Amino acid sequence: MNTAMAKLIEKIGRRAARISVIGLGYVGLNVSVSFANEGFKVHGFDVDKKKISSLENGVNYIPEERYLARVLPKVLGKKFIPSIEVEKASLLGDVVIIIVPTANGDVPTLTYLEKALKSVIRNDISGKFIIIESTVKVGTTDEFVVPILEKSGLTAGEDFFVAYSPERIDPGNPDKTLKSIPKIVSGINSESAEIAAELYEKIVSKVVLVSSMRTAEFVKLMENSQRDVNIALMNMFALMCEKSGIDVEEALFAASTKWNFHPYKASCGVGGHCLKKDPLLLAKSFENSDLDLGLIYSARKLNDSMPPLTAEKAAAICREKLGKDVAEAKFGILGLTYKKNSSDARNAPAQFIMERLGEIGAKRISAYDPLIRDSPINGSLMDVLKSDIVIMTVAHDAFKGVFDTFAGYVVDGTNTLEPSERVIGVGRGFAQEGVEQDEGNGFEKCGQDVPQRFRESAVE
Ligand SMILES: NC(=O)c1ccc[n+]([C@@H]2O[C@H](COP(=O)([O-])OP(=O)(O)OC[C@H]3O[C@@H](n4cnc5c(N)ncnc54)[C@H](O)[C@@H]3O)[C@@H](O)[C@H]2O)c1
């Protein structure tokens, strides 16, 4: 063990290693607060002045996350110091963790990562430990990150340490905390990997060490691509059900009585910062190979078609059930985030549903989401419930019971509500024109209770 490594490990053991986190978004704020809560001094940096001044004023901008709501007030200003001065990250930290975005919309980009790395090399990084957590294409840490860091004139793995450890948190899900999710860890060499493991063991219950940074990058992309492809398959099943009058939830319930059938959920779309870009990053990683990557692109295309199809379904209901022209009808959108109980609105299906509604002539659209602040399109629940048709895009807990007295039509993009004449899900309750609705609709007819998991939203 070289001296720098021994020193770092010893400091980590005493929780005396200072940690800088660059990027205080959904992941970075969580990571910062987790280390601070374990006794580490954490300096958190972000280029977003609003985020930093919010923290300086003691305001948590992700209040729906229970862990943050509980722990941030305890550590803020004490063990956790936020700052806009990103160039000080490598000066103040023995360890610098970078967790910046790696896409604009769904278009992957390394611009943010590059800027963050350039801030890091503004100070002497000898003996420091640089960790990348952002999701990246396979090979990025070796081929993009390390060359930038080595512009410092130092050698990675010898003069400073480098690790890659993808993040797997699940915002909005109180059952899956950062602590409870096993952490994949890798390093440029065994020393770096070992220090990373020592460090992360302080905040997570299990560290999974893999043999190379490329493997760790690949693992993250595999996980999200697997989800995306499986959700696409479910969405395709749902569209088939709409063509045949079969209820997709009933079919999924029945199919999942087979031990090796995995019931992912059909929905009105896949959004967020991750699932829309990670499969593309995986495909890009192999674009120069002779592999046929069509499966990944087809899944992306299918999932991206769900929001416009949902809008078109609402328009069809409007014409066929209400006998109204799309331009006359009032449409309501319930839920503007991409995920249940999260305030993250990036690439949310709602945005694409509204776009399509506009394209096909809807003139009166209102939207509401209690978790969204500062959005010009966010109106009131009362206004949404005055609509002829409400499209529910995400099943926030706050929406429980909202339709109890609603007399219009509901397009349930989450397949959470019980379908009925007026509640139409994805792949359930509404057959295309000319298709007879399957009379068997309803679990009760099978003499079974609907399992809880089928009642939960899986809009990702
Ligand atoms: N959100 C998730 O659920 C999740 C889960 C796993 C992995 N990830 C990955 O983690 C990474 C970050 O995602 P996120 O959701 O936290 O993004 P985010 O947009 O919520 O947060 C990133 C933060 O980085 C800041 N930033 C950008 N450039 C910067 C720079 N040069 N210096 C300092 N700050 C900078 C932004 O202002 C922003 O606050 C992405 O690669 C994402 O794919 C996200």
The structural domains of the chain, with segments of one domain joined by +, span 3-212, 229-455
Of ligand 1's listed atoms, the one at least distance from the Cα of 166 is 7
CB 112 less than 6 A from any atom of ligand 1: yes
Return the pLDDT at 341: 94
- Name the amino acid, one letter, at 6: A
Distance from C-alpha of 90 to C-alpha of 95, rounded to nearest angstrom: 8
Which residue's C-alpha comes closest to atom 36 of ligand 1? 23
CB 135 less than 6 A from any atom of ligand 1: yes
Domain 229-455: CATH superfamily is: NAD(P)-binding Rossmann-like Domain (3.40.50.720)
Sequence-distant (≥ 6) Cβ neighbours of residue 340 within 8 angstroms = 172, 394, 395, 396, 397, 414, 456, 457, 459
- Name the amino acid, one letter, at 229: V
Distance from C-alpha of 161 to C-alpha of 69, rounded to nearest angstrom: 33
Kindly list the distances between the CA atom of residue 398 and the CA atoms of 126, 351, 377, 395, 402, in Å, as whole numbers in the listed order: 50, 20, 19, 8, 8
CB 184 less than 6 A from any atom of ligand 1: no
The radius of gyration of the chain from alpha carbons, rounded to an integer in Å, stands at 24
Q: How far is the CA of 49 from the centre of ligand 1 (A)?
A: 15
Return the pLDDT at 446: 41
Distance from C-alpha of 71 to C-alpha of 344, rounded to nearest angstrom: 20
Distance from C-alpha of 43 to C-alpha of 41, rounded to nearest angstrom: 7
CB 47 less than 6 A from any atom of ligand 1: yes
Q: How far is the CA of 24 from the centre of ligand 1 (A)?
A: 7
Of 296, 277, 31, the C-alpha closest to 165 is: 31
Return the residue matching tokens 């992309």. 221
- Name the amino acid, one letter, at 314: A
391 contacts 424 by C-beta, under 8 angstroms? no
Active site residues: 220, 274
CATH fold group of domain 3-212? Rossmann fold (3.40.50)
Distance from C-alpha of 354 to C-alpha of 347, rounded to nearest angstrom: 12
409 contacts 332 by C-beta, under 8 angstroms? no
Return the residue matching tokens 């722990």. 71
Which residue's C-alpha comes closest to atom 1 of ligand 1? 26
Q: How far is the CA of 100 from the centre of ligand 1 (A)?
A: 4
CB 99 less than 6 A from any atom of ligand 1: yes
CB 227 less than 6 A from any atom of ligand 1: no
Return the pLDDT at 445: 42
Q: How far is the CA of 134 from the centre of ligand 1 (A)?
A: 7
Kindly list the distances between the CA atom of residue 269 and the CA atoms of 280, 308, 341, 358, in Å, as whole numbers in the listed order: 17, 9, 16, 18
229-455 shares the fold of 3-212: yes
Write out the chain's pLDDT in tens, 460 residues: 688 889 999 999 999 999 999 999 999 999 999 999 999 999 999 999 999 999 999 999 999 999 999 999 999 999 999 999 999 999 999 999 999 999 998 899 999 999 999 999 999 999 999 999 999 999 999 999 999 999 999 999 999 999 999 999 998 888 889 999 999 999 999 999 999 999 999 999 999 999 999 999 999 999 999 999 999 999 999 999 999 989 999 999 999 999 999 989 999 999 999 999 999 999 999 999 999 999 999 999 999 999 999 999 999 999 999 999 999 999 999 999 999 999 999 999 999 999 999 999 999 999 999 999 888 888 899 999 999 999 999 999 999 999 999 999 999 999 999 999 999 999 997 655 555 555 554 444 444 444 444 444 333 3
CB 51 less than 6 A from any atom of ligand 1: yes
**CA quadruple 350, 354, 356, 357: dihedral, nearest 10:** 130
Which two tokens mark 150? 């080595």
Of ligand 1's listed atoms, the one at least distance from the Cα of 51 is 39
Of ligand 1's listed atoms, the one at least distance from the Cα of 27 is 16
Of ligand 1's listed atoms, the one at least distance from the Cα of 170 is 3
Return the pLDDT at 454: 41
